[in-house]
Amino acid sequence: MQWPGSYCDTKQSCCYPTTGKPETNFGIHGLWPNYKDGSYPSNCDPDTPFHQSEISDLISRMQTSWPSLACPSSNGLAFWSHEWQKHGTCSESILPQHGYFDAALSLKDRVDLLQILKSAGIQPDGRSYSLSRISEAIRGATGYAPGIECNVDASGSSQLYQIYLCVDKSGSNLIKCPVLPRGGCSSNWPASYCDTQKSCCYPTSGKPAPDFGIHGLWPNYKDGSYPSNCDPDSPFNQSEISDLTSTMQKNWPSLACPSSNSIAFWTHEWEKHGTCSESVLDQHGYFEAALNLKEKANLLQALQTAGIQPDGKVYSLESIKGAIKEAIGYTPWIECNVDGSGNRQLYQIYLCVDTSGSDIIECPVFPNGKCGSEIEFPSF
């Protein structure tokens, strides 16, 4: 299930369906047959295409509960066709096309996620809630632990995006997930920011180099949570980093729309995250530390040395993690997003550093989220 506000409130965009703005509720993303290790089959029967006539009696319910927010605006048919052909065909020995969509709709009706969260005092009001509180509210109501996926809003803040629940082979009963998805709740690959169902805009300084760009340097607690906006009396001051600006334009570019000089992005990163490290790193030291870490890690070179190229091919998640660990000595965490065709692709790589911001260390915990065992490394 995905939260429409988090699909739309990003640095990119969304488009409401041709039927109008969806209701304020979780919408279905998909019903995906998975293996017990978390990987999944796909496109299992090209001879069974999506037929709208098979689900004519479900259309009005699907427009309400399974809307497409992709641009340009649509009636949802392309989205449903994709879900059936990529995922539904892998369950058709049990669920024919009508049964597949009906099962997903029935599960959504039975598991009223928004009501569950509201009953626990968790409202879609723009406030922050702990991940454990959200998880426990859903677990308390359903009896099973959910997977929680976050994305990043237009200001760079993590927000609740999708909730994953596991069901049995019949598609009708919730079960305990054999594994939970992992995902972001960093350095990012620019092609994966841009190659989505949404869009990106190059900085006013031009298209960035085909290399990982810095997302941020974020002080965290050992349990994975983090402080934020620690000193409102210490605003971003561009003059403090005037000697770093050209380096930052190359290594820390904003891809948000509309095109910009990235100052707003850096302002956000300092005021939300940097101010929580200023007892150790002043403003200049904070940005310089992030730039030095990027240069030291050299993630693209680490991958290319292992034969992993940004060529649009698919690589195993383990080979990507192994290449980076081999090069830097520490395990990274990998975040994926989904391209315009629904394929999972390498998006961000997280590394942990010590409190000085200068040395890479082993991460005490990793974020939650979902990637898959095989992911694409798109060209840029």
**pLDDT tens digit string along 122-141?**
999 888 887 788 889 999 99
**What does the pLDDT read at residue 1?**
78
Are residues 171 and 239 both part of a single domain?
A: no
**What does the pLDDT read at residue 144?**
92
| DSSP assignment letter at 119 | H
* Residues carrying an active site annotation: 215, 269, 273
> 197: which residues sit within 8 A by CB, 6+ positions away?
70, 71, 338, 339, 340
CA torsion, points 352, 329, 368, 63, in degrees to nearest 10? 110
Total count of domains within the chain:
2
Are residues 152 and 210 both part of a single domain?
A: no
Are residues 202 and 351 both part of a single domain?
A: yes
Domain with 357, as residue range(s), is: 187-376
Helix axes 263-272, 283-297, angle to 10 degrees: 100
- Residue 181 covered by a domain: no
- Residue 369 covered by a domain: yes
Are residues 117 and 234 both part of a single domain?
A: no
What pTM was computed for the model?
A: 0.53
Are residues 230 and 354 both part of a single domain?
A: yes
- Alpha-carbon distance 338 to 341, whole Å? 8
- Residue 299 covered by a domain: yes
Contact by Cβ (8 Å): 289, 357: yes
- Residue 182 covered by a domain: no
CATH code (residue 72): 3.90.730.10
- Alpha-carbon distance 380 to 359, whole Å? 29
Per-residue pLDDT band for 159 (boundaries 50, 70, 90) equals confident
- Alpha-carbon distance 39 to 41, whole Å? 7
pLDDT(7) > 90: no
How far is residue 157 from each of residues 13, 43, 55, 226, 274, measured CA to CA in Å?
16, 34, 38, 11, 14
